[in-house]
């Protein structure tokens, strides 16, 4: 029985040594997450292990930051090819490491973060990694009270529109200019077509004043409301 016990201890010891030898460096426990330690692999990638040496976050990242995002619930990670994502406190990659940049949550909209794709286009993601607004725009504005749940977007060809918080393009991004709501007409925004004519749209994208007028006609209010 004693020989068997010694044999088991030898096997366990060998496993532990082998586990430790998988890493070039093991950092201090608790520095990044309670009972976790950051590790650096032989080939230079980073991951996380628990106090038993079990891998929690695979050592596949070029960089792992501390849990400072989303009130300490998420940590930024960088892939070996340079893209960013986020992991949660279970070690799961909740936001895929495929973006060239990830902004701060709630900066542009409640529970949303701006992301930049590897080709330079922008979108918005939620805290579960869902692209609420697909990363296909060259610019995305902030959701604010004036527009009431709408954000200005600029397409990759330079035209403008508005999207809502569900990611729907309620005002198609096919205007060369889109103004703020209530700036000239109550509940309406001035739009300029790619051919240079003007009109007004409501918050549902309806062209209440057909965009067939010159700026001079708009300024002197020489236009008619479209009958619905």
- 80 vs 98: CA distance, rounded Å: 11
CA gyration radius, the chain: 27
Average pLDDT over residues 191-214: 95
Average pLDDT over residues 146-157: 88
Give the tens place of pLDDT for each residue, 104-144.
999 888 899 999 999 999 999 999 999 999 999 999 999 87
Tokens 């709501």, residue located: 181
- 204 vs 228: CA distance, rounded Å: 14
In this structure, how many other beta carbons lie within 10 angstroms of the beta carbon of residue 207? 15
| DSSP 3-state of 180 | coil
- 148 vs 57: CA distance, rounded Å: 40
Show the beta-strand stretches assigned E in the chain.
23-26, 36-41, 46-50, 55-64, 74-79, 84-88, 93-99, 101-102, 113-116, 122-125, 131-137, 139-140, 150-154, 160-164, 171-175, 177-178, 189-192, 198-201, 207-213
Q: What is the pTM of this model?
A: 0.80
Q: What are phi and psi of 70, to 5 degrees?
A: 50, 55
CB 135 within 8 A of CB 119: no
Whole-Å CA distances, 155 to 81, 92, 126: 27, 33, 21
Note the pLDDT of residue 146: 62
| Residues 6 or more apart in contact with residue 160 via CB below 8 angstroms | 152, 153, 154, 173, 175, 176, 177, 178
pLDDT band per the 50, 70, 90 thresholds, residue 81: very high
Structure tokens that stand for 204 in this block: 């549902």
pLDDT band per the 50, 70, 90 thresholds, residue 199: very high
Note the pLDDT of residue 224: 74
């Amino acid at each position: 029985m004693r020989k068997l016990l010694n044999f088991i201890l030898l096997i366990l010891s060998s496993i532990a040594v082998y586990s430790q030898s998988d890493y070039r460096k093991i950092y201090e426990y608790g520095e990044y997450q309670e009972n976790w330690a950051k590790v650096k692999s032989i080939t230079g990638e980073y991951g996380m292990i628990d106090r038993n040496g079990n891998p929690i976050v695979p050592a596949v990242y070029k960089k792992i930051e501390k849990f400072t995002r989303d009130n300490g619930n998420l940590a930024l990670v960088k892939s070996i090819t340079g893209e960013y994502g986020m992991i949660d406190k279970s070690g799961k990659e909740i936001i895929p490491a495929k973006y060239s940049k990830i902004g701060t949550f709630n900066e542009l909209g409640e529970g949303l973060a701006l992301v930049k794709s590897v080709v330079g286009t922008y979108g918005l993601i939620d805290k579960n990694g869902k692209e609420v607004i697909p990363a296909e725009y060259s610019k995305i504005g902030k959701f604010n009270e004036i527009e009431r749940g709408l954000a200005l977007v600029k397409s990759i060809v330079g035209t403008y529109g508005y999207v809502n918080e569900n990611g729907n393009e309620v005002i198609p991004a096919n205007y060369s200019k889109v103004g703020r709501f209530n700036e000239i007409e109550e509940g309406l925004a001035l739009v300029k077509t790619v051919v240079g004519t003007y009109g007004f749209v409501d918050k549902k994208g309806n062209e209440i004043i057909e965009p067939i007028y010159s700026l001079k006609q708009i300024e002197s209010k020489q236009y008619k409301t479209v009958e619905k």
